[in-house]
């Protein structure tokens, strides 16, 4: 038994080491694909945060910061040149929305069309809570009606609980 | 009503919702450009003797802008449909060749990144386009070169092939993403073009 535990520990340790090694060996591939705006760290930060808000339309579940698709690279280049031209974040976002629509925004705006998207989960949660409370109340009533607890029964239950302590 | 029926109803509603949702085409993203003026551009043509082309030259006509490339597999699939459409002489088709060299993942295009060796890129593009058009037929009234894909971005292109129908006043009336099929031509393109041509730009 002890041997098995040791084995498992060793395997886990190896896996952790490998993991750490992989992280060290391949930095930057998971989150920040955009090539740096080498000279200007502030502009680079803006590029990263803008790119993380924009959807890559080719690989639709990735942002253009994560994606290495051809189009994502082009769009990062566009964003970079707009930053260099001194445009505001809102101007850059508008540029993208005018061409690709709201779909390009990773966080869809709250408006008539997207109310169901934003409000749906809350509505479902409230409906669920309402149903649960109703169900529990009904069940209680039914149980009480079926088997009313006698005074004698209560005493016995209390005695049993005390025994347990 | 039987209380055991409710879960069944809920389940069926879910099935219907998922059936509809899963059958939608996730690549069919509504373009905000429909109903808006076609973005302007000035690009060189494939024909070296022809002047710089700009959409303003098509004013007064209903025309189609077809975004394509020789490396694009679905463009090959679509090409025959375009050739037969052009034979009907319903509307002129302008080909926008999108990133002929830099978009081709089979090539090492780092040599041409950021417009380095532009002249070489241009002549290589022309060579590939010419070969393709003489091999598969040329449905285009003219073809323009969008070497770096910037015009593509202005038109919201995110995957070739894409086609736009533009009216007499330069307004985009339809965008089709993906290869054109005989069905799309017959059911969407031709009726719209007929209507636009009859009403002089008012659909």
What would the two tokens of residue B17 be? Answer: 């919702």
What residues of chain A, 98 to 157, have a C-beta less than 8 Å from chain B?
98-103
Question: For position B113, what pLDDT does the model report?
Answer: 81
Closest residue of chain B to A96, computed from CA coordinates: B156
Q: Does B21 touch chain A (CB under 8 A)?
A: no
Confidence check: pLDDT of B167 > 90: yes
Residue A58 CA to chain centroid, in angstroms?
A: 21
Q: The pTM is what?
A: 0.74
The model's pLDDT over B80-112, given as tens digits with 9 standing for 90+, comes to 999 999 999 999 999 999 999 998 888 887 888
The model's pLDDT over A107-164, given as tens digits with 9 standing for 90+, comes to 888 887 788 888 999 999 999 999 999 999 999 888 888 877 788 888 888 899 988 6
DSSP letters along A12-72, please? Answer: HHHHHHHHHHHHHHSTTSSS--SPP-TT-HHHHHHHHHHHTTBB-SSSTTSBTTT--SHHH
Of the two residues B68 and A11, the one the predictor is more confident about is B68
Question: For position B202, what pLDDT does the model report?
Answer: 59
Backbone angles phi, psi at B176, to 5 degrees: -120, 125
**With bands split at pLDDT 50, 70 and 90, how would you rate the model's confidence at B33?**
very high
Rounded CA-CA distance A84/A81 in Å is 5
Subunit contact B159:A78, Cβ cutoff 8 A: no
The model's pLDDT over A63-92, given as tens digits with 9 standing for 90+, comes to 888 888 888 989 999 999 999 999 999 999
ipTM of the complex: 0.81
Q: How far is A74 from chain B (nearest CA, A)?
A: 8
Helix axes A70-84, A89-100, angle to 10 degrees: 140
Using the CB atoms, write b or e for B7-42: b if 16+ within 10 Å.
eeeeeeeeeeeeeeeeeeeeeebebbbeeeebbebe
């Amino acid at each position: 038994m002890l041997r098995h535990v040791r084995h498992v520990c060793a395997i886990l340790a190896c896996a952790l080491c490998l993991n750490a090694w992989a992280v060290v060996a391949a930095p930057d591939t998971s989150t920040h694909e955009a090539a740096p705006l080498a000279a200007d760290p502030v502009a680079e930060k803006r590029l990263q945060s803008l790119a993380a808000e924009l959807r890559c339309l080719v690989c639709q579940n990735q942002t253009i910061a994560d994606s290495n698709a051809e189009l994502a690279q082009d769009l990062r280049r566009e964003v970079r040149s707009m930053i260099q031209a001194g445009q505001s974040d809102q101007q850059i976002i508008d540029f993208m929305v005018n061409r690709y629509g709201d779909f390009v925004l990773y966080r869809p705006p709250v408006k008539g069309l997207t109310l169901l998207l934003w409000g749906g989960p809350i509505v479902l949660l409230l409906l669920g809570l309402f149903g649960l409370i109703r169900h529990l109340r009904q069940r209680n009533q039914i149980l009480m009606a079926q088997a009313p607890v006698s005074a004698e029964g209560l005493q016995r239950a209390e005695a049993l609980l005390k025994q347990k302590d | 009503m039987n209380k055991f029926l409710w879960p069944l109803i809920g389940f069926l509603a879910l099935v219907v919702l998922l059936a509809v949702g899963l059958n939608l085409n996730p690549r069919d993203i509504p373009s905000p450009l429909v109903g808006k003026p076609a973005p302007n551009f000035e690009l060189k043509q494939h024909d070296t003797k022809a002047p710089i082309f700009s959409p303003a030259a098509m004013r007064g006509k209903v025309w189609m802008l077809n975004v394509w490339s020789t490396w694009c597999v679905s463009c090959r699939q679509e090409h025959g449909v375009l050739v037969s459409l052009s034979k009907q002489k319903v509307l002129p088709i302008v080909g926008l060749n999108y990133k002929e060299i830099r978009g081709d993942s089979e090539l090492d295009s780092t040599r041409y990144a950021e417009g380095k060796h532009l002249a070489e890129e241009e002549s290589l593009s022309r060579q590939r386009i010419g070969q393709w058009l003489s091999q598969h037929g040329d449905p285009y009234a003219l073809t323009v070169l969008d070497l770096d894909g910037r015009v593509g971005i202005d038109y919201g292109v995110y995957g070739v092939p894409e086609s736009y129908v533009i009216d007499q006043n330069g307004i985009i009336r339809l965008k089709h993403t993906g290869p054109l099929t005989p069905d799309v031509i017959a059911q969407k393109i031709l009726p719209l073009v007929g209507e636009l041509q009859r009403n002089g730009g008012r659909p």
